[in-house]
Amino acid sequence: MDSKKPDGFEVEKSDSAWQESLSPTQYKVLRCHGTEMPGSSPLNSEKRAGTFECAGCGAPLFLSETKFESGTGWPSFYEPMPDAVGTTEDRSHFMTRVEVHCQKCGGHLGHVFPDGPAPTGLRYCMNGAALQFDPRKQK
């Protein structure tokens, strides 16, 4: 399933509409490719069963069973839900990384690294400000 419209993402808003619908920190992370301070998200310690969703559009992104403690200070997952995220090359900060964005609204979520646990070996290092948690939604 391709969630993108021919001209962009399924959920599109003007910059001012994004600013009105998000907190300043969420706006900085999701729409301006910012990063929150490590250890600042309460979602780091979230252990309940449920679904981590995009704080911008509510799209389901990660199941709680894929979350693990990476020691980085950001919520980390080894696998997104099917068709939930997209990736692009990020060459900012004098390095090359793989940026992760919400497939539905294009919001910046974080980065993915090849140093995660089995079964994927990947670490989706996500900004907690880009996520919301719903304990009612499970697989």
CB crowding 10-48: b at 16 or more within 10 Å, else e = ebebeeeebeeebeebbbbbbbeeebbeeeebebbebee
Is 125 among the catalytic positions?
A: yes
Burial class (CB in 10 A: 0-12, 13-18, 19+), 127: buried
The enclosing H or E element of 30 equals helix 24-32
Catalytic residues: 125
